[in-house]
Structure 1
């Protein structure tokens, strides 16, 4: 189902309109009450994320999907590392910022590694639970179907495929659980 150009431009305009007030208020230096700022800047961040997602989807037309995803990940993480760089620079001349730099780096990495990998594994597990439909690579014709055999042979193949998928999910889930568990345990440990 193709989306018309007018609908697409309308969606991008609405999303940009949601993000613009946060940018304007920030650049103007206007201070808003905390609750209003939470909603205003939260909507701005979400709108910016949607625009980044659309840009990455559009970039996949001109470059490989993996490269577009890598660029999106880099753009998404850059602000966090900019804050790290600022605190590290300030800590060089003002020792009071050393604690801020260390706390920001460990907290950000804990979130990225602990929660990020868990979400990747969850997305994989949910995708693996779908039916056995697979996309064919572009430019290739589908592989010829094997000759039909009796019912027991098909059942055996289905069972083998299900066991293989289950092993993949268990392996990814165990890595995710270990990472999340270690992040949780380190957050509970005394200083």
Structure 2
């Protein structure tokens, strides 16, 4: 028997506004977790080929600020926290592809394994980086979510290594990117164990 699936994404601005307007932090957290579950787990069950594209462009359509209102405070080891970090990476790559390419280039020789896992074209160029990060997000719907997290983590590691090699980059900036990469990698391991919720 064929089950009908509900379209998991994207939602209207009112969908996110309803969560952002909640006064109770526990209710907001619960709503954020539920939305993340629907997006990640629902996308995997959907037979709609357009779901992946809607997931990629969710931040474009709703705004990264709306997504931040819902997921920015979620724990790194939760689906909501993972989605926040993935959309944050995508927004950064699309906002500054030239700078990202420069940082990735600076780190790729010192982080060769991570470079291969990230799947960035060689040599890294702005358009290739945008295509890569969009492909990572498409993986939420049509790939393995653990792979999505590991690719994003590897990308973050290479960028952190590149930042560390540049004299004009602060240690704090390097630490933040490395922490993000480590959080995504740890979440990837949780996903493999079936413990990421």
TM over 0.5: no
TM-score w.r.t. length of structure 1: 0.30
TM-score w.r.t. length of structure 2: 0.29
Q: Report 1 or 2 for greater relative contact order, CA contacts < 8 Å, sequence distance ≥ 6.
A: 2
Higher fraction of helix:
1
